[in-house]
Amino acid sequence: MNIQKVEQQTVVFNDAFAKKANSLIPTIYKERIRPKQIVEIVEDSKVIHGWRTEQVREVSDLQEIEFGKGDSVIVDFGDHEVGYVTLKLKSAGSPPDAPLHVKLTFGEMPVEVAEPFSSYDGWLSSSWLQEESVYVDVLPHILALTRRYSFRYVKIDIIDTSPKYRVIIDDTYCDAVSSAQLSDVYSYTHEDSVLAEIDQVSIKTLKDCMQEIFEDGPKRDRRLWLGDLRLQALANYNTFATNDLVKRCLYLFAAVPNDKGQVAANVFIQPSLIADDTYLYDYSLFFTTTLHDYYEETKDEETLKELWPTAYRQLELGLARLDERHIVQDDETWWSFIDWNDKLNKQAPSQAVLIYALRKGIALAQIVGACELAFLEKQLADVEKATKAHLWDETKQFFVSGKNKQVSWAAQVWMVLAGVLKQDEGRALMERVITEKPPVTMNTPYMYHHFVEALLKVGMNTEAIKTLKAYWGGMLEDGADTFWELYNPNDKTFSPYGSHLINSYCHAWSCTPTYLIRKYEL
Ligand code: RAM
């Protein structure tokens, strides 16, 4: 073990864990995909973001078009792809007497190839927007892009040739990459065609996020986040079953905790394994729950024993945030995630995540025969008692959060998932949420996943299916090839980052319907 100083945080690097993670680097499979059609972007106020595509030519026509200065074309690959794009370029007319200047823009959604990226003014780096400008000195040329892109549409802008020559795009393809193979998926067809499609698109979403790690999104952030990993792992068990990738990701987190033993909210694997200096209360606790789910699936005792100290430490740190009443302390910072919603108070939902994690931790402690078992059981009892005493509002009949006693969907959902209430009380609470519609709602498929799972937990299957169809089905109706990072049906341009241009439209945490449909046999 050696100590690494990263800015203000100290990371305690565990070499053995990092080596184990490295020994599990998956094979990356490649598939060559060619575009399906040439399209044009059409303004349409009736569709999401105000843009749709329309086929204008057959893709086979591409080789016949001679492009000059200012021309452009949009090729549509027909589905979401993650990979490396190649263009075969040649000239027409006089010998090329000047370099070719070409700009490429990649879009998961039509809006990304419709609106100029110069219009972006969000707070995340604009460098996530997928474009590049290339100068080609000699033609013919095989332009093989070295950056990996995540897209369905590629807009090719010919910035300049020269007055004497034009350029022809002789061929274009994408070498799509993933560590998952669709042929490995457990075969399953739902008789309900909407649920069947939702299941398939969930799997495609998961596949495109499965690279050397479970990425959160292949466009952005292209890294391993714990909250996303937890859900990807669940979806994976019922589909690809590449359980070693889950194991690898658990070891990656366990290899780089800080000096308190807390695992980071996310890690980078390039240029080498690095813990990000972001720590989130709920995400750290999900290390324990993800290990629990992994063990349940694999019965891999060796991994459980090796990672138990890390899992237990997350519980200890979670408990250390409790005040003298056994209620988790709130603050104004981004201390816990829960959902992307500026208005959401995180206290009550985070308290519920702690309870949820304690239960799974106790199950693990029993399996490993840990001496900490009795301590954890006592803590769980105290925390549950305090939750009912201080966070349940008898008049409102809801759990309340923070000093302003906020009633949010997230708080109720997480309390149900944490098992704080008996089955019939939980059901009554979920029914109340649906009828009374608390004002602090949900913005992400991540939070909607928890809502649906809470409904299933209390036996409200009809409502759960209705939500799956309305929410994920809504994305399909709005043109999703893979499910999105953000989706608010009442505000379809919602972005926590200040612009929907930077949103990710293939995002791992939205891939869970396949888990919900298959696991709960909906
Ligand atoms: C976003 C990422 C990621 C998520 C974090 C909290 O930046 O999209 O998926 O886990 O937020």
121, 69: one domain = yes
pLDDT tens series, the chain, 522 aa: 455 555 567 999 999 999 999 999 999 999 999 999 999 999 999 999 999 999 999 999 999 999 999 999 999 999 999 999 999 999 999 999 999 999 999 999 999 999 999 999 999 999 999 999 999 999 999 999 999 999 999 999 999 999 999 999 999 999 999 999 999 998 888 999 999 999 999 999 999 999 999 999 999 999 999 999 999 999 999 999 999 999 999 999 999 999 999 999 999 999 999 999 999 999 999 999 999 999 999 999 999 999 999 999 999 999 999 999 999 999 999 999 999 999 999 999 999 999 999 999 999 999 999 999 999 999 999 999 999 999 999 999 999 999 999 999 999 999 999 999 999 999 999 999 999 999 999 999 999 999 999 999 999 999 999 999 999 999 999 999 999 999 999 999 999 999 999 999 999 999 999 999 999 999
Report whether residue 215 contacts ligand 1, using a CB cutoff of 6 Å. Answer: no
Among candidate residues 119, 143, 178, the one where a domain is terminated: 178
132, 201: one domain = no
96, 229: one domain = no
How many angstroms separate the alpha carbon of residue 152 from the centre of ligand 1?
22
148, 203: one domain = no
For residue 225, give the ligand 1 atom closest to its CA.
10
For residue 228, give the ligand 1 atom closest to its CA.
10
For residue 509, give the ligand 1 atom closest to its CA.
9
Domain count, the chain: 2
pTM (two decimals) = 0.97
SS3 466: helix
What pLDDT was estimated at residue 344? Answer: 98
Q: Residues with Cβ < 8 Å from 480, sequence gap 6 or more? A: 201, 505
For 52, list phi and psi in degrees, rounded to 5: -135, 170
For residue 266, give the ligand 1 atom closest to its CA.
10
Report whether residue 337 contacts ligand 1, using a CB cutoff of 6 Å. Answer: yes
Give me the CATH number covering residue 110.
2.60.120.260
What pLDDT was estimated at residue 6? Answer: 54
* CA-nearest residue, atom 6 of ligand 1: 337
Name residue, tokens 């290390």.
287
What pLDDT was estimated at residue 188? Answer: 86
Q: Is residue 280 part of a domain?
A: yes
Report whether residue 208 contacts ligand 1, using a CB cutoff of 6 Å. Answer: no
- What b/e string do you get for 473-508 counting C-beta neighbours within 10 Å, with b at 16 or more? bebeeebbbbbbbbbbeeebebbbbebbbbbbbbbb
168, 202: one domain = no
What pLDDT was estimated at residue 1? Answer: 47
User: Residue 472, class by beta-carbon neighbours within 10 Å (0-12 exposed, 13-18 middle, 19+ buried)?
Assistant: buried
> Pairing between strand 398-399 and 392-393?
antiparallel
For 198, list phi and psi in degrees, rounded to 5: -60, -40
Report whether residue 221 contacts ligand 1, using a CB cutoff of 6 Å. Answer: yes
Q: For 191-228, write each residue's pLDDT tens digit.
A: 999 999 999 999 999 999 999 999 999 999 999 999 99
Among candidate residues 120, 147, 178, the one where a domain is terminated: 178
What pLDDT was estimated at residue 405? Answer: 98
498, 400: one domain = yes
* CA-nearest residue, atom 1 of ligand 1: 221
Distance CA 281, CA 20 (A): 26
Distance CA 489, CA 350 (A): 25
Report whether residue 339 contacts ligand 1, using a CB cutoff of 6 Å. Answer: no
57, 205: one domain = no
Distance CA 408, CA 403 (A): 13
For residue 220, give the ligand 1 atom closest to its CA.
8
Q: Which amino acid is at 40?
A: E
How many angstroms separate the alpha carbon of residue 225 from the centre of ligand 1?
7
Among candidate residues 147, 178, 209, the one where a domain is terminated: 178
Q: Is residue 9 part of a domain?
A: no
- What b/e string do you get for 310-319 counting C-beta neighbours within 10 Å, with b at 16 or more? bbbbbbbbbb
Distance CA 244, CA 248 (A): 6
* CA-nearest residue, atom 5 of ligand 1: 225
Q: Which amino acid is at 245?
A: L
For residue 264, the enclosing domain spans 197-519
416, 476: one domain = yes
434, 354: one domain = yes
Q: Is residue 16 part of a domain?
A: no
132, 219: one domain = no
Give me the CATH number covering residue 286.
1.50.10.10
For 101, list phi and psi in degrees, rounded to 5: -115, 120
221, 249: one domain = yes
Whether omega for the bond prior to residue 271 falls within 30 degrees of 0, making it cis, is yes
210, 267: one domain = yes
SS3 155: strand
Q: Is residue 183 part of a domain?
A: no
